[in-house]
Structure 1
């Protein structure tokens, strides 16, 4: 499958979901953005699939290679703001995909945890983010001590992500499930 066909397929999938599930307007004030919400979500999905894991990387990829498909691509700051405001829609889309792929009805699920480092250990005293929630931890697979959170990813037997949980470092994976 060509990348252009993949982009169109993902857009059709996202747009069909969006038209069916999002029945009330998300914005009540201000001008409508140049780029539609399904286009932004499509760009994020395709950008992640193609190996661009930052908003800046995704925006630069589409600006450099796919501008004919997205002629209304706004400035990067507008794109990033619009994409971050769609977090709830993306969460609903993920649940929709899990239901369509029947990943939520599987009998076998695997859970794995990974560290989410807030800052280096030397900077912990100055770190004001998430005070009282973050904790010290140790990741044996990376042989590192860190200050932050513990992410837990729940996947089905085919490897489809079903759920993601963020906990303090001292919470066990079995308790997070």
Structure 2
């Protein structure tokens, strides 16, 4: 899909979704509407995210330089950044709407996994005042490294559609952060990794109508059929693919935020952009998670 066609399509989807998640399409209760419409600002944010721009400033620069004619109401940088900051909760609503459109909440199998969100280099932690008292030290097993920041959790369907995201300080056990995800919409099987093994967690999830499945540790006896264990491991690769896309294509591990609300807002934007791309792939008859050839410059 050509980039210009992609922008127009995203704009149409954002306009349609805004009228559904926000009565009248205007999230403001008072005051004058902004010169740049919210649909235009959100379109710029989502397109910039898909193209790999990490900060609001970078998105603003890109559109000012290359697409000023398409967005004639685009003002100065600070106004654009403030407008996106005020739309952070709307991005979360848009994500839920697109996930619901894809019937993700009706799925019988969900996958959960985590990813690191470092906020600075470990050597600079002692001199850094940002996120002090909010971030913490954590360990990323896939990268075999310690980091200072937050730990994100992603809940997806077996097809790779994100249904929820949560983040906590990196030192908090991800099993405790699991209930920050929208599990009330999920039923059936939940596939996790070995880090989610905890008997009381299994009982709590069972009371909610979910059955936790995960590979066992080497020192634990597994009475389940080997075919079931292999199936769990195979299906779980899908959530690893989704996290890889969030980290590499959408730069979810590098938010550039200086405050907690900025970090949460930017993570939600990147998460919302994912089902948006899935929705476009579905409409084009492409593989749902094939983002590589979705946009052509």
Normalising by the residue count of structure 2, what TM-score does the alignment of the two structures yield? 0.54
2:39 is aligned to: 38
1:155 is aligned to: 156
Between structure 1 and structure 2, the one with the greater Rg is 2
Shift of 1:152: 1.0
Distance, in Å, in 2 between the alignment partners of 1:126 and 1:27 is 42
Distance, in Å, in 1 between the alignment partners of 2:15 and 2:126 is 46
Question: 1:97-133 CA deviation, whole Å, 9 max, x = no partner?
Answer: 0100111221222222122223333443444444444
1:58 is aligned to: 59
State the Cα RMSD in Å.
Answer: 2.1
Residues 134 and 21 (structure 1 numbering): CA distance in 2 closer, same or farther, change over 3 Å? closer
Distance, in Å, in 2 between the alignment partners of 1:107 and 1:172 is 26
Shift of 1:141: 2.1
- Give the paired residue count: 176
The worse-fitting range, judged by mean Cα deviation, of 19-28 and 47-56 is 19-28
- Whether the 8 Å contact between 2:118 and 2:148 is mirrored in structure 1 is yes
1:111 is aligned to: 112
SS in 1 for 2:17: helix
1:98 is aligned to: 99
SS in 2 for 1:137: strand
- Whether the 8 Å contact between 2:120 and 2:148 is mirrored in structure 1 is yes
1:20 is aligned to: 20
| Structure with greater proportional helix content | 2
2:4 is aligned to: 4
Higher relative contact order (CA 8 A, sep 6+): 2
Normalising by the residue count of structure 1, what TM-score does the alignment of the two structures yield? 0.86
Shift of 1:57: 2.1
Distance, in Å, in 1 between the alignment partners of 2:90 and 2:28 is 10
